[in-house]
């Protein structure tokens, strides 16, 4: 996903006020929803050299970023270099609510590599972002995946919390459009959501993967909640 002129905001709690999307019956849901935190219910996707699922951890799950000590870029190698790209879980029906909250912990201080492709020449740091993926997405449609923007967590050691309103202005599409420019498409993705989760990237791309060199690092999801 191309990062255009939008700025990274990383490693802090975003304090925007969210808008509640009213459901078909004309009333907003009132019960918070927590996705499953079982590691087996989460899938690591589009991530060469990574296992199918994260590992169980206290309160949630964790994974190790894959190590890589070779030259960059490396995505066109055969086989491609390893990277952590997407990790998602199934969403339970329409994504109605005011915001998504999460808490994570990053351990380790290696070099986080994101310039895995020759055309990734931007300089935004490696980060994790929230993802909403519409049902039936085949990775070609402009409005079937939405990333939190500016909400992001830079991949540096520490414990972090992030709150992203389910407000179109806080999300960005595949082709770099802010949700305010395509609010109908954004709300359609919420109504027909299939997966929610996190992606890892940097530079020009939000989900094209990260690996590490010069050490080890892990990422743990401690909590995720959809606030109604």
- Outline where the chain has alpha helix (H): 183-191
Domain limits, the chain = 39-216
Strands 42-45 and 145-148: unpaired
Q: Two tokens at 37? A: 């935190």
pLDDT score recorded for residue 30: 61
Backbone angles phi and psi of 19, in degrees to 5: -110, 135
| Neighbour tally for 214: CB within 10 Å | 11
Is pLDDT at 19 greater than 80 in this prediction?
no
Tokens 């994504």 correspond to: 95
Is pLDDT at 12 greater than 50 in this prediction?
no
Is pLDDT at 15 greater than 80 in this prediction?
no
Q: How confident is the model at residue 59 (pLDDT cuts 50, 70, 90)?
A: very high
pLDDT in tens, 144-192: 999 999 999 999 999 999 999 999 999 999 999 999 999 999 999 999 9
Is pLDDT at 92 greater than 50 in this prediction?
yes
Is pLDDT at 28 greater than 80 in this prediction?
no
User: Which of 111, 49, 112 lies closest to 77 in space, CA to CA?
Assistant: 49
**How confident is the model over 128-156, as a mean pLDDT?**
98
pLDDT in tens, 107-127: 999 999 999 999 999 999 999
pTM for this predicted structure:
0.87
Q: What average pLDDT is seen over the chain?
A: 89
pLDDT score recorded for residue 129: 98
pLDDT score recorded for residue 23: 36
Contact at 8 Å (CB) between 131 and 197?
Answer: yes
Backbone angles phi and psi of 170, in degrees to 5: -105, 15
Burial tier of 39 (Cβ tally within 10 Å: 0-12, 13-18, 19+): middle
Buried b (16+ CB within 10 A) or exposed e, 146-170: bbbbebbbbbbeeebebbbbbbbeb
């Amino acid at each position: 996903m191309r990062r255009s002129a939008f700025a990274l905001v990383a490693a802090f709690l975003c304090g925007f006020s969210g808008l509640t999307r009213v459901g078909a019956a004309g009333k907003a849901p009132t019960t918070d929803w927590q996705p499953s935190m079982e590691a087996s219910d989460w899938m690591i996707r589009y991530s060469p050299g990574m296992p199918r699922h994260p590992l169980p951890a206290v309160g949630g799950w964790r994974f190790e970023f894959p190590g890589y000590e070779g030259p960059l870029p490396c995505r066109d190698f055969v086989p491609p270099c390893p990277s952590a790209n997407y990790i998602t879980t199934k969403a339970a029906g329409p994504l109605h609510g005011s915001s998504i909250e999460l808490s994570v912990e990053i351990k380790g201080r290696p070099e986080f590599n994101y310039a895995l492709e020759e055309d990734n020449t931007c300089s935004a740091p490696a980060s994790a972002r929230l993802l909403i993926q519409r049902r039936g997405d085949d990775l070609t449609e402009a409005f079937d995946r939405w990333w939190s923007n500016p909400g992001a967590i830079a991949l540096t050691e520490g414990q972090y919390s992030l709150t992203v309103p389910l407000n179109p202005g806080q999300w960005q599409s595949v082709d770099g459009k802010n949700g305010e420019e395509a609010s109908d498409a954004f709300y359609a993705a919420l109504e027909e959501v299939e997966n929610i989760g996190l992606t890892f990237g940097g530079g020009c791309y939000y989900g094209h993967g990260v690996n590490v060199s010069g050490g080890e690092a892990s990422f743990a999801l401690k909590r995720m909640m959809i606030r109604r």
